[in-house]
Amino acid sequence: MFHKELFFSTRIPAISGLLSALTILLFSTSVLAVNDNGFDLSVSSIPRSEILHGGPARDGIPALSEPKTQFAEGSAWDDSIMVIGLSIGNETRAYPVNILAHHELVNDVVGGKEILISYCPLCGTAIVFQRRLEGQLLDFGVSGLLYQSDLLMYDRQTESLWSQIKAEAVTGKLIGKRLPLLRSEMMSWGRWRKVHPTTSILSRVTGHLRNYDQQPYGDYSQVRQVYFPAPLDTRYHPKLPTLGLRTQAGQARAYPSVEILAAGGEVEEQFEGAEIRVEYDERTAVFRVQAPAEIETIQGYWFAWMAFHPKSSVYRAP
């Protein structure tokens, strides 16, 4: 294409400048579209300069939709793997982190409710949402873009981008809208199925060729390095397991795992007038929380919680 335009411009000098300018403009627009994975970022509730390309193209990390499941008995998963588990109505289901690390999003239906299971390996955050918003059912994919090192999802109905940790649309027709969170737990598959013997679990048969016994991020959860720019609060190791509580009004409080352990493994206190209880088991690396349903709970890395909640209070052991 460039060779033809160069040849043409030597034949007709009068319009060569115009053609060159047009070529540069088209090329620049093409590059920008690739960098933005085709999303319109002209109006955004977060700084445009902080929306980064994560590497994969749009849907380069393929989300799953209503995937195959199997009952606990006879499942092909080892008891030691970590799962995201939730109960809705009379139905319980577990989602192996081994699968989520490769797909990040699962559009599913549990207990008759349409839900979205999201997992960001870069932030260690597993969050479950309702995906019916004001009567509209949304189906989500992985945009390939990041904000504060966290997954930016997009809904296929409006192509709005959603920040996973903010639980909010940051671009597009739905900008400013929030997805309701659903309470979930992260624990070993062995413990989950012991507590919930009738549970189902995601099948390895996803329709994609992936080695779900191999983690694509290696030792990322242990090292101090963060792959993409994000504010780093240096009070703790960036990847320290941390539980965060927040309200719709914006109050936030962090419970670093080391502080809970220093307090004997459990903390009981009030948060915004509500009685809460937070536990952390060092052996299993599992948080447990008791709090009113209206309080949102998010488990992830220390740096990720503080990047999104810089004014968060922090629990300190006495």
Rounded to two decimals, the pTM is: 0.87
- Dump strand ranges (E) for 272-315: 274-281, 286-290, 296-301, 313-314
The residue to which tokens 């955050």 are assigned: 125
Concatenated DSSP letters of 162-228: EETTTTEE-BSTTTT-BPPEE--EEEEHHHHHHH-TT-EEE-S--SS---TTS-TTTTTTTSS--SS
* Higher-scoring residue by pLDDT: 3, 254: 254
CA 203 centroid distance within chain: 21
Residue 2 is predicted with a pLDDT of: 33
Is pLDDT above 90 for 74?
A: no
Q: Which helix (H) or strand (E) holds 69?
A: strand 69-71
Q: Which pLDDT belongs to residue 170?
A: 98
| Cα–Cα distance for residue pair 23/208, rounded to 1 Å | 39
Per-residue pLDDT, 5: 30
- Per cent of the chain over pLDDT 90 is 84
33-48 pLDDT per residue, tens: 447 999 999 999 999 9
Model confidence band, residue 31 (pLDDT cutoffs 50, 70, 90): very low
In this model, does residue 24 exceed pLDDT 90?
A: no
Token reading at 218: 């290696």
Q: Are 267 and 278 in contact (CB under 8 A)?
A: yes
Tell me the C-alpha distance between 112 and 30, whole Å. 43
The reported pLDDT for the residue numbered 19 is 36
What is the band of 9 on the pLDDT scale with cuts at 50, 70, 90?
A: very low
Report whether 245 contacts 295 (CB < 8 A). Answer: yes
